[in-house]
Chain A
Amino acid sequence: MPFRVARLGPTLAGLLLLAVGAAGADTGDIRDGKVVYERWCVTCHGAEGNGQGEAAKYMSTKPRDYREGTFKWRTTPSGSLPLDSDLEHTLLNGVYGTYMPTWGFLGERSRQDVIAYIKTFAPRFASEKPQAPIIIPPEPGYSDESVKRGSAIYQKYNCSQCHGDGGRGDGPSAHDLKDDWGNDIVPYDLTKGHVKCGDTATDIYRVFMTGLSGTPMPTFADSMDPTDAWDLVHFIESLSPRYAKNFARTAANSTARANP
């Protein structure tokens, strides 16, 4: 890092140090990240980070607009900024069912650099710190009893209001939903056997305990206890045989990041 800063003009380097100091434990290099961004990310996410790159108009799930620091996939509570490791999780896993691919080939250094650059689009990253990640207790074993309890939790918490009685994303509130940008957005069809935010049981748990910021999906962390939440995860898994297969695949390729 000292070597890299020294390459910059003294004024800009001073400003960079100021920004890095304010934002906390940044490890990426913003200037190098800009190069990565403008080669690989700009076509969809736009030169100004507004999610309005040239290709965006052809996409139904719009590329992320970075300017408000709002991210769906986080380990942090509803409304919080994400951790750098959360953004890297999305880079490594891509977003299933959208145009966002995986960026493993970039290598860790370039991922850190581009994360540092992406964060410059949202002033919030300089003035505010992410909250601590939610605590996820270890998963109790999957069992038919747990699935049955989870089915009752699904009813009790009215998940069907949006996701429908059978989890197909066709509940009574499914048709009038908008995201923060005013785009139409639909509740996920849980019977697909893939979840956008990662394919581990922990990823599913995290979706409803953190909520997906910028979307209608709220956090249930204030109303649901962890035991009930794990039962709900197991019920969602029971909606498609593909989950079990995906989980097995993920476990075989597991990295520390896939399940932090």
Chain B
Amino acid sequence: MSNGTSATQCAHHSFCLAAGLALFGIAGSLAALPSAAYEAVAVNNGGTIEGVITLSGAHAGATITTTKNQDYCGASIPDPTYTVDSAGGLANVIVYLKDITKGKPGPSEPIKLVNDHCMFSPRVQGAMVGEQVTISSDDPILHNTHPQNAETNATIYNIALPFKGFSVTKPLPANPELIKIKCDAHEWMHAWIMELDHPYYTTTGSDGHFTIKDVPPGSYTLAVWHEAAGEKSEPVVVAAGKTSKSKITLAAK
């Protein structure tokens, strides 16, 4: 997702400069056409992908011990990293299709990210490139919402939310990337946004279930991502007007 380290791999300087500049030229032309890869069309007779993501292996029901603003935040908060129901269904997993280039139009409303009782809500969500994010605070203390590229840690921006009820809408990065979000003032607060160049993504609910609708018939790769249990993918075939079922198990780490 990033070519930020390309300069470090060049041993010889003049070659490095030339190669680096050539890469810049390519990056520049790609940046000029960010969404050429996906074409929005009317999807008639699309199929549905339905399924459940489960967690295998032991995981502790962890607790976050807060270190500041305990009068408001409380002394501890349940750790939502592994939110698993009685049947093993894992919440907060992003489920998405890979390499889909044509399909339903993307969402137009901004996604939401709320600072709610010293935690981000939702913890994990998808977004389509070009969407915006509305960042708000329900807390009467200072938060800051600081998205970074998950791979490089590069700051995307860093917005102060000084009081309850404050809200601001900001753009997401121009090119799809996995974004991790922190609040520097409360170091236990984390959230993730997976930005994709198409709208075929969803997040599992508290029972680990998911549904992706209006998929043009065809063969795809269904991928899942969880902040701690990692990634997995499998092939999926979608037939017109039919529902494909999928069950994927991630191992606790």
CA separation between A130 and B227, bound complex, in Å? 32
- Give complex CA distance A220, B155 in Å: 16
Contact of A123 among B23, B145, B146, B158 (CB under 8 A): B23
For this complex, 15 residue pairs linking A to B, each with C-beta atoms less than 8 Å apart, are A12-B14, A12-B17, A67-B8, A68-B149, A78-B157, A121-B7, A122-B4, A157-B160, A157-B163, A161-B185, A173-B185, A216-B158, A217-B158, A218-B144, A224-B162
> A residues within 8 A CB of B159?
78, 211, 218-219, 222
- Could you give, for residues 147-171 of chain B, a 1 whenever the CB lies within 8 Å of some chain A CB and a 0 otherwise? 0110011111111111100101000
Most A CB contacts (10 A, CB to CB) among B22, B159, B160 go to: B160
A123 contacts B18, C-beta separation under 8 Å: no
Q: Which residues of A contact B157 (CB under 8 A)?
A: 77-79, 211, 213, 219
Partner pick for A218 among B3, B13, B158, CB 8 A cutoff: B158
A56 interfacial contact with B, CB 8 Å:
no
For B18, the chain A residues whose CB sits under 8 A away are 11-12, 15
Chain A residues, CB < 8 A from B185: 161-162, 173, 216
Whether A123 lies near B162 (C-beta < 8 A) is no
Does A93 lie at the interface of the complex (its beta carbon under 8 Å from any beta carbon of B)?
Answer: no
Residues of B within 8 A of A126 (CB): 21, 24-25, 27-28
Complex: A218 Cα to B22 Cα, angstroms: 35
Q: Is A136 among interface residues, defined by CB-CB distance under 8 A? A: no
- Closest chain B CB from A175 CB (angstroms): 8
Query: Are A70 and B155 in contact (CB-based, < 8 A)?
Result: yes
Which of chain B's residues has its CB closest to A158's CB? B142
**When chains A and B are docked, how far (Å) is the Cα of A224 from the Cα of B3?**
36
Q: Which of A83-91, A98-106, A176-184, A241-249 touches B?
A: A176-184
On chain A, the number of residues with a Cβ less than 8 Å from chain B's Cβ atoms is 55
* Cβ-based interface call for B233 (8 A): no
B85 on the A face (CB < 8 A): no
Q: Does A45 contact B (CB under 8 A)?
A: no
Q: Which of B14, B154, B174, B187 contacts A180 (CB 8 A)?
A: B154
The residue that B31 contacts in the complex, of A68, A120, A128, with Cβ under 8 A, is: A128
Number of B residues near A (Cβ < 8 Å) is: 49
- A22 engages B141 (CB within 8 Å): no
Docked complex Cα distance between A79 and B24 (Å)? 20
Name A residues whose Cβ lies closer than 8 Å to a Cβ of B.
Answer: 11-12, 15-16, 18-19, 22-23, 30, 34, 47-50, 67-70, 77-79, 120-123, 125-128, 156-159, 161-162, 172-173, 176-178, 180-182, 211, 213-220, 222-224
Distance of A49 Cα from B4 Cα, bound (Å): 11
B65 interface contact, C-beta 8 A: no
State the majority secondary structure of interface residues on B. mixed
B186 contacts chain A at the CB level, 8 A cutoff: yes
- A159 to B148 Cα, complex, angstroms: 22
When distances are taken between beta carbons in the complex, the residues of chain B under 8 Å from A70 are: 154-155
List chain A residues, Cβ under 8 A from B7: 48-49, 67, 120-121
Given contacts A67-B4, A79-B155, A180-B153, 19 further A-B contacts (CB under 8 A): A12-B17, A15-B21, A18-B21, A22-B24, A23-B24, A50-B8, A68-B155, A128-B31, A157-B142, A173-B184, A176-B67, A178-B187, A217-B158, A219-B157, A222-B160, A222-B168, A223-B161, A223-B163, A224-B162
Instruction: Report the separation of the CA atoms of residues A173 and B168 in the bound assembly, to the nearest whole angstrom.
Output: 23
Within the complex, the shortest CB–CB distance from B157 to chain A, in Å, comes to 3
Within the complex, the shortest CB–CB distance from B96 to chain A, in Å, comes to 25
- Cα–Cα, bound, A211→B157 (Å): 9
- Least CB distance from A113 to B in Å reads 14
- Determine if A79 and B158 form an interchain contact, defined as CB atoms under 8 angstroms apart: yes
B5 within 8 A of A: yes
Point out the residues of chain B lying under 8 angstroms from A77, CB to CB: 157
Determine the distance from Cα of A250 to Cα of B17 in the docked complex, in whole angstroms: 39
CB distance from A158 to the nearest CB of B (A): 3
Contacts of A215 in B (CB 8 A): 158
A69–B2 CA distance with the chains assembled, in angstroms: 13
Specify which chain B residues have a CB less than 8 angstroms from the CB of A47 in the assembled complex: 13
Contacts of B30 in A (CB 8 A): 127
CA distance A240 to B229 in the complex (A): 51
Within 8 A of A (CB), among B185-218: 185-187
Complex interface: chain B residues within 8 A of A30 (CB)? 17
Contact across chains for A176 and B187 when beta carbons are under 8 A apart: yes
Contacts of A128 in B (CB 8 A): 31, 174
**Residue from A34, A127, A216, A224 within 8 A of B144 (CB atoms):** A216
**Chain A residue contacts of B31, Cβ below 8 A:** 127-128
Which residues on the A side are within 8 Å of B24 (C-beta)?
Answer: 18-19, 22-23, 123, 125-127
CA distance A161 to B72 in the complex (A): 13
